[in-house]
Amino acid sequence: MACPLHPYHTKSLRALGAETKAQEEAAKRVPFFGPMSRKATEARQRLTAAVVEEVRQNRIMQRMPLLVGQTIQRNDGIITDLLRDIYRTVGRRFVVDGFDQAEQKATEPEKESLLDAWFTRVDQWLDTPEAGREIRRITDTQRRDIIDAINEGLEEGLGTEEVAQLIDDRMEDIDQQRGRTIARTETITASNMSSQEGARQSSTNRLKQWFDSDDGRVRDSHEIIGASDPIPLDQEYEWTSPEEGVVTARFPGDPNLPAAERINCRCVELYVEPNE
């Protein structure tokens, strides 16, 4: 279900040309996709290389699936560093953008303060259980991809070196594909999270509104929530998913969302002053 209408009489964002504004905000994310995809692919390739090296040194074929999990867990700092890089890089742009939406254009001292606060927020967030779940989601996907290759090698009776080479060969394309998905998903999350953080730092009382991409690829649930009225910054969006039941989110791309409601989401959040 769409979230309940907010009790304030609000300005109609859509009547004020906010559809165009939402498209402009979405377009600002596009330049980040390529660079972040390369970073994410490189991070996955480093994890794959660590596993391949361990497999080559291991002589007990049946232990390989366990070895994969242990190796990835031991090297999951690679993904932590990747997320820190994405969130800091993307957030530099959007934390100021969110502040500018909620208030007048930020001064240079305000920009510096916003960036310092955002970088601190990112470092703090990476120590939370929420970030830990996100890191595990990414590494678990890679673990499953590699184990699929190992199981294929075991079924074919391949030796250690042959299995290692099979992993290397199979993961080349998969690491690129997964890297693109990670980059797009985390860029959207970082942009919306930092934008809302910037809006919170403003001195004005603003509401937030979810906007979908208004095309044939939008999830039905996001189209529904995108048609609802603005809500307070501290309130969560809420809707009912046929697969997940009642779902809540602080912003589009919220890491707490189920994968089906988050991966490759392209929605944006805008801010509006209540018309009391």
31 CB burial (10 A radius; 0-12, 13-18, 19+): exposed
Label the pairing between strands 231-232 and 245-249.
Answer: unpaired
The Cα angle at residue 131 between residues 38 and 270, in degrees rounded to 5: 80
- Return the closest-CA partner of residue 255 out of 198, 182, 200, 203: 182
The CA distances from residue 72 to 51, 84, 97, in Å, are 7, 18, 36
Q: What is the pLDDT of residues 27-72, one digit of tens each?
A: 999 999 999 999 999 999 999 999 999 988 877 777 888 899 999 9
Q: How far is CA 268 from the centre of its chain?
A: 13
Read off the tokens for 124. Answer: 């703090």
DSSP character for 262?
A: H
Q: What is the pLDDT of residues 194-234, one digit of tens each?
A: 999 999 998 888 899 998 877 777 777 787 777 788 999 99
Q: Which residues pair with 240 in a beta bridge?
A: 246
Read off the tokens for 93. Answer: 């742009």
Report the alpha-carbon distance of residue 213 to residue 232 in Å, rounded: 22
Read off the tokens for 64. Answer: 């390989």
pLDDT of residue 3: 39
Strand ordering across the sheet containing 231-232:
231-232, 207-211, 268-272
Report the alpha-carbon distance of residue 222 to residue 249 in Å, rounded: 11
pLDDT of residue 190: 97
pLDDT at 13 over 70: no
Indicate the SS3 state at residue 214: coil
pLDDT at 264 over 60: yes
Read off the tokens for 13. Answer: 């964002």
> Residue holding tokens 């305000």?
110
Q: What is the pLDDT of residues 134-183, one digit of tens each?
A: 999 999 999 999 999 999 998 898 888 999 999 999 999 999 999 999 99
Widest CA span of the chain, in angstroms?
A: 72
Q: What is the pLDDT of residues 190-199, one digit of tens each?
A: 999 999 999 9
Q: What is the pLDDT of residues 78-108, one digit of tens each?
A: 999 999 999 999 999 999 999 998 777 889 9
Report the alpha-carbon distance of residue 57 to residue 17 in Å, rounded: 61
Label the pairing between strands 231-232 and 237-241.
Answer: unpaired
